[in-house]
Structure 1
Amino acid sequence: MADHGAPHFHSHDTDMHPHEHTHDEQEHHHHEHDHSSKDEWKGADGKIYHSHDGLAPHTHEPLESPGFFSRRARPITSRDFKERAFTIGIGGPVGTGKTALMLALCRELRDKYSIAAVTNDIFTKEDGEFLVKNGALPPERIRAVETGGCPHAAIREDISINLGPLEELSHLFSAEILLCESGGDNLAANFSRELADYIIYIIDVSGGDKIPRKGGPGITQADLLVINKTDLAEAVGANLKVMEQDSLRMRDGGPFVFAQVKHNIGVSEIVNHILSAWEEATHHKRR
């Protein structure tokens, strides 16, 4: 039986900030950030923070552990949901089933709640067009954002490119729930709490059963981890029991769901998690 307690890591500062980058990301993005900016400041943790839009302060210091579910950034309790409806962020690597989950959630929620959706792609509007083509929602309730750069920047750092359309949709349709899909990124990518009130991170078994134990904020600190495409496990040699044990250990009791989203398996459980969080945040009862 796997040890379901918190994982033990040697770290001098495990209370990490949700907007930190890995070493690889630092190298990739050194050209994008001016660290001599007068807008930099030292946080209470002694780290140097800055913000590109005044909304999402973050640091570029390296992560020192895979992260802990119990130490994840919590939802902002002072949020005005009349200004922008309860927002669900859906992140994960490319091809894991984010857009399929968006479609499934639209189908499950649209008859009882006023919802709208924003998708992110780097240079296309393909995911938004997929939702429209498949009748997820009326086209006017869907916005496709072209981030023009690394997808994590639009969900974690300069989130204004998503806040604009989300607020517009919220006002136009008196939305109760908003869905925001990331453009697809690595295990270190996670949503800013300024953007997402509830964070879902989705992986799939085709990457192998090692993915959950690799950790990173996506795996360890999302409010819900979805392990998708379980029907492919045998074909790719992935052991679902190993993935379960590693998810229990790495998420320290945080919830996760095995799913086959395209076959509607696990979707009702995901919806239940979402609506429980929606009820707690908005003090409304589910319908």
Structure 2
Amino acid sequence: MASSDHHDHHHHHDHTHDDKSTTSWVGADGKVYHTHDGLAPHSHEPIYSPGYFTRRAPPIVNRDFNERAFTVGIGGPVGTGKTALMLALCTFLRDNCSICKLQVTNDIFTKEDGEFLVKHGALPEERIRAVETGGCPHAAIREDISINLGPLEELSNLYKTDLLLCESGGDNLAANFSRELADYIIYIIDVSGGDKIPRKGGPGITQADLLVINKTDLAPAVGADLGVMERDALRMRDGGPFVFAQVKHGHGVEEIVNHVLQAWEAVTGKKRK
């Protein structure tokens, strides 16, 4: 982005938020970052590379987990199985651990996913918050996370929880969580999009802490080659972990849970009970 454009952009920001302070700086990656309205630092520059697993933003280890519990973000395109994974994680953890699970679900215009989880008994209704973003879901998990922080902190304090699950509304291959929001990021794609999806890349695929390739049973129907997906996922993720799954049928869920709990132990210093 040309510097004159950037100046105009900032002028626009300052004009829109003229009662708030805007601070700008150049990050280590050379992008111009800014913060306003108390938002997480962010950049509006285009992303030219799908990103590298080894260079992903590390979890923020010095944050206060008493204020907001260890937060797992679940993102991915529309219809890949995010809500099914939420249900599976809630059910698995509820039955097997004394970890408390709460959930905030983000969608554009509907609270349907939250209602689905209540209906299927994932968690008691009072432990679920549905957030309607009213716009692109990725904005609420990356650029302006404030709409999520409130409900997450509230749930964390009400139930003294160890673990929070935050589902993003279905979005694109570039939708990734801000580290200010998610201590652990799961990105879920599915086989029906074709075996080319992993190599198309995008920050979700390359930089999520865990990539889940769901609905492997659909491979024959869409002519997708799981071997190709495995090869490309290994290459694109630079050795970062991924799991083949059929979440609806419970396949791969335990493996996903173990990845989450290992990260929870590593970041918080707690041990699973």
Structure 2 length normalisation: TM-score?
Answer: 0.91
CA contact (8 A) 1:86 1:278 kept: yes
Quick one: distance in 1 between partners of 2:27 and 2:87?
41
What CA deviation, in whole Å up to 9, does each residue of 1:189-209 have, x standing for no partner? 100000000000000000000
Query: What is the CA-CA distance between 1:281 and the residue it aligns to?
Result: 1.1
1:181 and 1:68 map into 2 onto residues whose CA distance is 23
Is 1:101 equivalent to 2:76 in the alignment?
A: no
> 1:34: how far off?
4.7
For 2:184 and 2:105, the matched residues in 1 are separated by 16
CA apart distance, 1:43: 1.5
CA distance change for structure 1 residues 157 and 53 in 2, over 3 Å: closer, same or farther?
A: farther
The aligned counterpart of 2:219 is 233
CA contact (8 A) 2:61 2:268 kept: no
Measure how far apart 1:60 and its partner are: 1.7
Determine if contact 1:52/1:157 at 8 Å carries over to the other structure: no
Q: Which ranges of structure 2 fall in alignment gaps of 5 or more residues? A: 15-21
Query: Structure 1, unaligned stretches of length 5 or more?
Result: 1-22, 24-29
| Deviation (angstroms), 1:285 | 1.0
Please identify which structure carries the higher helix content.
Answer: 2
- The answer on 1:205 being equivalent to 2:188 is no
SS at match of 2:218: helix
Which residue number in structure 1 is paired with residue 26 of structure 2? 43
Contact 2:74 2:168 in 1 (8 A): yes
How much is the aligned-residue C-alpha RMSD, in angstroms?
Answer: 1.6
**Paired residues, number:** 257
Evaluate the alpha carbon distance shift between residue 230 and residue 283 of structure 1 in structure 2; reply closer, same or farther with a 3 A threshold.
same
What's the TM-score once normalised by structure 1's chain length?
0.87
Letter in 1 for 2:81: G
The share of aligned pairs that are identical, in percent, is 78
Asked if 2 retains the 8 angstrom alpha-carbon contact of 1:119 and 1:145, the reply is yes
Query: Following the alignment from structure 1 to structure 2, what is the Cα–Cα distance between the partners of residues 186 and 41?
Result: 27
Query: In structure 2, what is the equivalent of residue 9 of structure 1?
Result: none
Aligned-residue offset at 1:48: 1.9
Which secondary structure state, in structure 1, belongs to the residue aligned with residue 72 of structure 2?
Answer: strand
Displacement after TM superposition at 1:249 (Å): 0.2
**Segments of 4+ in structure 1 off by > 3 A?**
none
SS in 2 for 1:110: helix
* Paired residue secondary structure (2:187): strand
Question: CA shift at 1:52, angstroms?
Answer: 4.5
- Matched with 1:84 is 68
1:105-124, Cα deviation, whole Å (9 max, x unpaired): 00011132111111011011
Once the two structures are TM-superposed, the CA of residue 44 in structure 1 deviates from its matched residue by 3.4
Distance in 2 between residues matched to 1:53 and 1:278, nearest whole Å: 30
Letter in 1 for 2:25: K
In structure 2, the CA distance between the partners of 1:259 and 1:80, relative to structure 1 (3 Å rule), is same
Distance of 1:53 and 1:217 partners within structure 2:
26
Deviation at 1:269, TM superposition (A): 0.2
SS of residue paired to 1:202: strand
Provide the rounded CA distance (Å) in 2 between the counterparts of 1:224 and 1:244.
14
